[in-house]
Structure 1
Amino acid sequence: MTDRSKLRETSGGAQVPPDDAISDYEFAAAPSRRMEIAIGAIALALSVLAIYLSRSIDLRMGGGGIDAKWWPTVLSSSAAVLSAIILGTALFMPVAQREDLEGAQKDGWVRMLVALALSSLYVFAWWQIGFLVPTPIYLFALLWVFGNRNPIALVLYPVLTTAFIYGLFHYLLRIPL
């Protein structure tokens, strides 16, 4: 008989021995070339759109060197290169095995939709209130949704992350948030 204290609880609520947590085929994510291609293509399209949008930023002062267009262009170009690598891998390499990943479950979809709703509310709140008030609340809510119940982490992480980002942009980069 299996000792219940040695069982591991999966995200679906079932308890299984630690070695068999994901190895059971019905819980493993199936390989999918179509999904890999779709992810690569969507990421590449969004990256190219980001490059276009970053290059169309209006500069208030003379351009040249590192300006308001530089970082968005570098980041979106890097994302485009990585997306092209993902797409090329999906098209020309053997399909990646995903037996080490769990398949999608209902609670994962619910968390994703809640995170998207929170992100939409955060963008609206930032636009209306500013950066400092909604950011720690948003980070706290995301931590809670994704299962963090440690009170120290729920307080420290949002506050320290908000302070770091604010300090970086406000004092170092001199970009108002």
Structure 2
Amino acid sequence: MTADDTTEAGEATSPRPSRALEIITAAIATAFMAGYLVMATQIPLRTEGVGAAMTARTWPSVLGVSGLIVAIILLVVAVTRPVPVRSDIERISAGGPLRVVLTIVISAVFVALWGVQSIIMAGYRIQLFPIVAALYLFALLWVYGHRGWIGLIAYPVGLTAFIYILFGIVLRIPL
């Protein structure tokens, strides 16, 4: 921390208001939601139901339109209103940026490995989702500071078992 980051009493100051940051964030959200909505309308349908009220595109489209409306409202507010005071925002912590990068990398590896449905080892077909999901949760909990056995072992195994049993076995949704 430098002398500019503290007050006379030694307390950390809050970040300065930034109109550019507000506008850029809202513009990124608007672009993201517009892209999401375009992709939602491209979902292939098995049969084009003329009178069908619900299709595979319905909920993704509803979410896309809702998100786009909220993002546009954020953009209008960022442009027209005065810059909000940021006194409630804390300064970036020492390990914060590293944790964000590690979270993105771990999540990318998880998504890449999720595409591999199963492997055959020693003549047995082993489904990878439960293993990869438990390791993913373990890694994220480790990155964010959990060190107890309940946080690192019981929670990932229990949550993965619940997801696998509910979606993979009961609902028969391929994971």
Moved more, 60-69 or 38-47: 60-69
**Counterpart Cα distance in 1 of 2:108 and 2:60:** 21
Q: What pairs up with 1:99-114 in 2 under 5 angstroms?
A: 99-114=87-102
Map Cα deviations across residues 134-154 of structure 1 (whole Å, 9 max, x no partner): 122112211221222332133
Deviation (angstroms), 1:59? 1.6
Bigger mean CA offset, 39-48 vs 166-175: 166-175
Structure 1 residues 33 and 163: alpha-carbon distance in aligned structure 2, compared to 1, 3 A threshold: farther
Q: 2:86 aligns with which of 80, 95, 98?
A: 98
Q: Could you tell me how far apart the structure 2 residues matched to 1:48 and 1:175 are?
A: 28
CA distance in 2, matches of 1:166, 1:81: 35
Q: TM-score, normalising length from structure 2?
A: 0.74
Note if 1:125 corresponds to 2:123: no
Q: Which amino acid aligns with 1:65?
A: A
| Residue ranges of structure 2 left out of the alignment (5+ in a row) | 2-8, 118-127
Quote how far apart the aligned CAs of 1:110 are.
0.7
C-alpha separation between the residues in 2 aligned to 1:74 and 1:96? 30
Larger radius of gyration: 2
CA RMSD of aligned residues (A): 2.7
What is the identity, as a one-letter code, of the residue corresponding to 2:100?
Answer: M
* TM-superposed deviation, 1:90: 1.3
What percentage of aligned pairs have identical amino acids? 38
Q: Match for residue 8 of structure 1?
A: none
| Equivalence for 1:40 | 26
For residues 172 and 47 of structure 1, the distance between their equivalents in structure 2, rounded to whole angstroms, comes to 33
Encode CA deviations 1:73-126: one digit per residue, 9 max, x unaligned.
222222212222222221122212222222234521111111111111011110
SS in 2 for 1:133: helix
Match of 1:84 in 2: 72
> Could you state the TM-score of these two structures normalised by the residue count of structure 1?
0.73
Moved more, 61-70 or 43-52: 61-70
Quote how far apart the aligned CAs of 1:168 are.
5.3
| 1:58-69 correspondence to structure 2 within 5 Å | 58-63=44-49, 64-69=52-57
Structure 1 residues 158 and 82: CA distance shift in structure 2, 3 A = farther
Aligned residue type for 2:133: T
Give the secondary-structure state (helix, strand or coil) at the position aligned to 2:139: helix
| Distance (Å, rounded) in 2 between the aligned partners of 1:155 and 1:91 | 47
User: What is the aligned counterpart of 1:51 among 20, 32, 37?
Assistant: 37
